[in-house]
Amino acid sequence: MGITVSLGAVLAIVFVALIGGSTPGLQYVFGVFLPYVAFAVFLVGFAYRVINWGRSPVPFRIPTTAGQEYSLPWIKQAKIDNPSTLWGVLIRMALEILVFRSLFRNTKAELRSGHIVFGPAKWLWLGALAFHWSFLIIAIRHVRLFVEPIPAVVQALDTVDGMLQIGAPALYITDLLLVASVTFLFVRRVVIPRMRYISLPADYFPLLLIFAIATTGILMRYFIRVDIVGVKTILVGLSTFHPTIPEGIGAIFFVHITLVAVLMAYFPFSKLMHMGGVFLSPTRNLINNSRMKRHVNPWNYPVKVHTYEAYENEFREQMKEAGIPVERE
Amino acid sequence: MAKESTPKEMQRIDYNPPTKGWMDTPVNIKPGMYCYPAKPEKIEDVGMPNPHKWSVTDEDWHLPADWKETFLEGMRDRLQKHRSFKIFMDICVRCGACADKCHFFLGTGDPKNMPVVRAELLRSVYRGEFTKAGRILGRLAGGRKLTPEVIKELWYYFFQCTECRRCSLFCPYGIDTAEITIIGRELLNLLGLNINWIQEPVSNCYRIGNHLGLQPRTYKENIEFLLDDIETYVGIRINPTFNRKGAEILFATPSGDVFADPGIYTLMGYLMLFEHIGLDYTWSTYCSETGNFGFFTSLEMAKRLNYKIYAEAKRLGVKWILGGECGHMWRVIHQYMDTFNGPADFLEEPVSPITGTKFENAKSTKMVHITEFTADLIRHGKLKLDKSRNDHLRVTFHDSCNPSRAMGLLEEPRYVIKSVCNHFYEMPENTIREQTFCCGSGAGLNASENMELRLRGGFPRANAVRHVHEKYGVNTLACVCAIDRAALPALMNYWVPGVTVAGVTELVANALIMEGEGPRTKNLRGEDIPGREEAGNV
């Protein structure tokens, strides 16, 4: 059901954008109005979600310790997996965010003739890494369509990405990687029974949406060519707040930009917010120095306790008989 | 029921879930998989909300009239108080990395025991009741409404989680099911839906001072019985003190060590170790419990029980606190105590009176773990040891969940064991250290009525023990946790007969060459040490 609904939604978006992109009167709506609204929703929504998380305090210091604690001087500490300094945490977080450290640990448990055996399971890590990095690089590459002159960094990235020099225009490595990895992430959800069991429409939809974004982008670049100068005019117009739509831009462009707009607008309301959340996760971004430095809970409040006095009052006689010292005879 | 099913039958587990979605599968509460409800009077004892009589197998759990508002209000409140909870409700991408990391999933094959689904049980309520998308789109946005049926499901599965955090280790965002279970159980406690195996110890601990409800006289007498045993097997009379003001160190340990086999042998070990080094320390009957079952009901209750440790240290005027072998006790001490009840500015930064070592890593809580303390003693050559007394033991070490994943105490106990035993073998790397498997009975689930759950939950751990048992002839499973000591023997008897469970300090004491000792032909359990029956003192 989740797959059908998600696929239906993505196809509907494509269909509507196709109509809009082919109708001169509607091109402005799909090429200017929607992207602006979507971008605003993305920025405001993202910021709102992060601030909203930030408004809830971190009452306790609860890092997941993934290695040896800071201990006696002759015991080797796992300084990154169990950080006792800010530096350790920064490196731990960098590894989590840039190379998915925790996911790299992944294993696969199987039952073989009554024994649980553990095998390596690096495919998810690899697929996720390929997906996120290629998506990021593609997004950065797109900067050249929004600004003039093109920054040297973007130009360099473009050159590296196209270094295979296959075909003209040159094939990008990241295009291949993105399509391959998003397909992998989708297929594993469908094929692996356990994954299918836990997957919701909210899991299929972003994958299908991104797949559609990638394919329309590739179609536009290699197969259904659009007027690239006209496209750049539109995008520079958007980024400089002088929006304009030149004549003769193919509908495929409007499909592509609409899909991206939907992704941006959908982002803050979805699980895609893990992009912001990963930075704030208290089990990863805290220093494990709970016994060295007191962590203060802003909403700590006094609680009802059973005092020693109450205890002795109840047990005084037997304590005396048992030869246990008491405060009051 | 477990009693009737053999290990061979029990390890036939299917990890493939049914095709029918979990939201469409009503909870199926099975005997042997749950604990009995908390008795109302035990809830009243500590003034927790909504004590009432109910039965798990009844259709109607007699929820209070405003149960729904109470639960949702409690949830709203906790979303505002815990950033962890809010983020963990929001950012799971259901990547599945945690699925086969849970010992309960691996032992039962129940798809709702996958950590991701366990969290989704509550997350779906969060989406359905708190988010706009969920309120409008319902199922389409993965949301559902809170019904009595959902409450039952939450109860069943939050009491099938031992808060061990193994899933959190593998999560790309560090989502911690333990955190979700802790809060989930808090919410259930608002409705009076605790289990008695937790609630009764909480009540006992609050008023009497320890889970088992040992009154001061009994507590002292129990320890004195063990002193008799030490005299019998070691030939030395030890005279510890209780509630003594002016001692340098307060020693606090879980009451399981005072009462139950094999915990008592660990306690004998403490007594002998401290005697051996001439430690100026005292026991306390008021603070006679460091394991904190309150932690399995609500953070507030955890704080109320934890209060006693600092209060007693202050009253007795000690310099610092030494803590015994216990799992979740150390999580509470390491990650919560200072925040709950600190600052402990009436204590001094811990320094070993024997070696002069400063315990830098405990300078704020002022509480040191026994294996940190012992490792330091051994390192400085302060213990006279005869390792060969443990030569008949082939030892492996079980990392308890909390010291490993909520503290990072990995090397210290290993160093101690290797210093007192010649034959030490590690279990496979995916089952130890930070990846260790829970005993399956933590977080207050070591009752007898849920034996099948315990045996199943303990299967991954037992499976790794079986591996080294077959490969190296391992016959001793060492650990630094009182719940482990209480729970693992049953697990070993079922899955790996022929493996004994021992505390680390017990192994230390067996190797200790005490001043003025008699012939050490027996170990602390009164068993003959092989090859020493006639040998006398070596």
Q: Does A242 touch chain B (CB under 8 A)?
A: no
Residue A1, pLDDT > 80, answer: no
Q: Show the tokens assigned to B78.
A: 């906790």
Region A234-241: mean pLDDT is: 96
- Distances in Å between the alpha carbon of A273 and those of A50, A263, A270, A278? 9, 12, 6, 9
Region A157-177: mean pLDDT is: 92
Residue B29, pLDDT > 80, answer: yes
Interface of B with A in 339-358 (CB under 8 A): 339-340, 342-343, 357
Q: What is the pLDDT of residue B534?
A: 61
Q: What is the pLDDT of residue B50?
A: 97
Distance, CA of B315 to CA of B241 (rounded, Å): 15
**Is omega for the bond preceding B489 within 30 degrees of 0, making it cis?**
no
Helix (H) or strand (E) holding B273: helix B263-277
How do residues A283-320 score in pLDDT, each as one tens digit? Answer: 999 999 999 999 999 999 999 999 999 999 999 999 99
Q: H-type helices in chain A, by residue range?
A: 2-22, 24-28, 34-55, 86-99, 101-104, 123-141, 143-146, 152-161, 173-191, 193-198, 201-218, 228-239, 251-266, 274-280, 308-321
Residue B527, pLDDT > 50, answer: yes
Among the partner-chain residues A71, A107, A305, the one whose CB lies closest to the CB of B372 is A71
Please give the span between the terminal C-alpha atoms of chain A, in angstroms, as a whole number.
75
Among the partner-chain residues A70, A105, A323, the one whose CB lies closest to the CB of B170 is A105
Q: With 0.85 as the threshold, say if the pTM is over it.
A: yes
Q: How many CA atoms lie within 13 A of B31 on its CB side?
A: 6
How do residues B96-145 score in pLDDT, each as one tens digit? Answer: 999 999 999 999 999 999 999 999 999 999 999 999 889 999 999 999 99
Region A184-206: mean pLDDT is: 96
- Specify burial of residue A253 (Cβ count, 10 A radius: 0-12, 13-18, 19+): buried
Cβ–Cβ under 8 Å, residues A124 and A102: no
Q: What is the pLDDT of residue B531?
A: 87
Interface of B with A in 490-529 (CB under 8 A): none
Q: What is the pLDDT of residue B3?
A: 55
Give me chain B's average pLDDT, please. 96
Cβ–Cβ under 8 Å, residues A6 and A12: no
Q: Show the tokens assigned to B187.
A: 């919410």
Task: Indicate the pLDDT class of residue B538, thresholds 50, 70 and 90.
Answer: very low
| Total residues belonging to chain A | 329
Residues 6 or more apart in contact with residue A158 via CB below 8 angstroms: A141, A144
Q: Do A271 and B91 touch (CB under 8 A)?
A: yes
Smallest CA–CA distance, residue B536 to chain A, in Å, is 37
Cβ–Cβ under 8 Å, residues B439 and B397: no
Task: Say which residue the tokens 């299908």 belong to.
Answer: A208
Q: Show the tokens assigned to A81.
A: 């997996």
Residues 6 or more apart in contact with residue B192 via CB below 8 angstroms: B38, B40, B43, B48, B49, B50, B51, B52, B54, B64
Q: Do A198 and B114 touch (CB under 8 A)?
A: yes
Q: Do A62 and B335 touch (CB under 8 A)?
A: yes
Q: Do A100 and B117 touch (CB under 8 A)?
A: no
- Specify burial of residue B130 (Cβ count, 10 A radius: 0-12, 13-18, 19+): middle
> Which residues in chain B have Cβ-Cβ distances shorter than 8 Å to A195?
96
How do residues B424-481 score in pLDDT, each as one tens digit? Answer: 999 999 999 999 999 999 999 999 999 999 999 999 999 999 999 999 999 999 999 9
- Helix/strand/coil for B528: strand
Smallest CA–CA distance, residue B221 to chain A, in Å, is 8
Provide the sign of the torsion angle of the four alpha carbons B95, B96, B101, B103, taken in this order. Answer: positive
- Find, among A110, A135, A133, the residue nearest to A121 by Cα: A110
Q: What is the pLDDT of residue A169?
A: 87
Q: What is the pLDDT of residue B1?
A: 45
> Which residues in chain A have Cβ-Cβ distances shorter than 8 Å to B19?
193
Q: What is the pLDDT of residue B501?
A: 98
> Which residues in chain A have Cβ-Cβ distances shorter than 8 Å to B406?
62, 64-65
Residue B536, pLDDT > 70, answer: no
Task: Indicate the pLDDT class of residue B179, thresholds 50, 70 and 90.
Answer: very high
